[in-house]
Amino acid sequence: MWALVARALLAGAMIAAISEIGRRLPATAAIVASLPLVSVLGMIFLWHQKPDAENMAIHAQATFWYVLPSLPMFLVIPWMLRAGVNFWLALAAGCVLTVLLYLAMMQLGPRLGLRL
């Protein structure tokens, strides 16, 4: 139970730090946000709970393939904002696009021989 609370507090601290940095230095906050900190921490916690090399290899490889469908969101949102679209609508559209691309990856990945 305490480990779960510690992980939640760590994730919250990372989000708070990114938002604080972003108020003054948006590009620096973007660099911090783009670091795979959550993935690395997730792998550390997963390894601690289940030290299995094959399980970790599957997890790391699947993470790579699931990052790809999330990337277009970071192009769609700024494009929409610069076109005058409301922030919340642009954010929602980016999230919907990401969900659709995740679903497509889930269908297409195994057909291409990917272990997801």
Query: For 52-79, how does the pLDDT look when each residue is reduced to its tens digit (9 = 90+)?
Result: 999 999 999 999 999 999 999 999 999 9
**What predicted TM-score, i.e. pTM, was given to this entire model?**
0.78
pLDDT greater than 90 at residue 6: no
Backbone angles phi, psi at 86, to 5 degrees: -55, 140
Q: What token pair was written down for 46?
A: 């997963």
Cα–Cα distance between 64 and 60 in angstroms, integer?
A: 6
pLDDT the model gives residue 20: 94
The answer to whether the CB of 75 falls within 8 A of the CB of 58 is no
Domain ranges for the chain: 53-116
Mean pLDDT of 8-22: 90
